Amino acid sequence: MSRTKKVLVALLLMIMLAAVTAGLVWHMNHYQMVDFRFYPRNATILNLRGKEITHKHYDKICRQMPGVQVFWDVPFQDTAIANDAKSLKVSTLSDKDVVLLDYFPQLETVDASGCKDYDQLLALQQRRPEVEVVFALELSGGTYFRDARTVEIPRITADEIPYLKCLRKLTTVV
């Protein structure tokens, strides 16, 4: 290859390298990378609904892009639920579920009718006092609703006594 061709090839390679570098600089100035996914840096809202997003990925987005409002489907009890849900219905509740409910900032009501995971219901009420938890407490064969002020329990066991804390308006126990 002649000297002129070598110079032209070298010049062409330098131009291509400069173009790639300029493209990368532009891309990095306009997009934020989180776990090998790119999001617009100037975004104020990210709509990630319909995409598989893990709790860890969501947390990273919030750390790396503070102030961005993220709409996503929260993986919760073998399904995905929009994070702006105002009410949820559960039939069981684990300790992990209680923590995951923090990913629903607009949550107002949890319908736990039929749920007998009283320790977790109590933990949920303590963790999220602004959320109305709807349930019925079954003690010693009787059913007591969460807004009961007075309960009559002929035979209560020592294990059941702590569950009375679930009845927030309770004033009298007979």
pLDDT tens, position by position, 142-164: 777 777 777 777 777 777 777 77
What is the C-alpha separation between 4 and 16, in angstroms, rounded?
18
Task: Dig out the tokens for 30 from the structure.
Answer: 């306009």
Work out whether strand 136-139 and strand 150-151 pair parallel, antiparallel, or are unpaired. unpaired
Q: How many residues does the chain have?
A: 174
Burial class of 155 by CB neighbour count within 10 A (0 to 12, 13 to 18, 19+): exposed
Phi (first) and psi of residue 155, to 5 degrees: -140, 110
pLDDT in tens, the chain (174 residues): 788 888 888 888 998 998 888 877 776 777 777 877 888 888 899 999 999 999 999 999 999 989 899 999 999 999 999 999 999 999 999 999 999 999 999 999 999 988 889 889 889 988 999 999 888 777 777 777 777 777 777 777 777 777 777 777 777 676
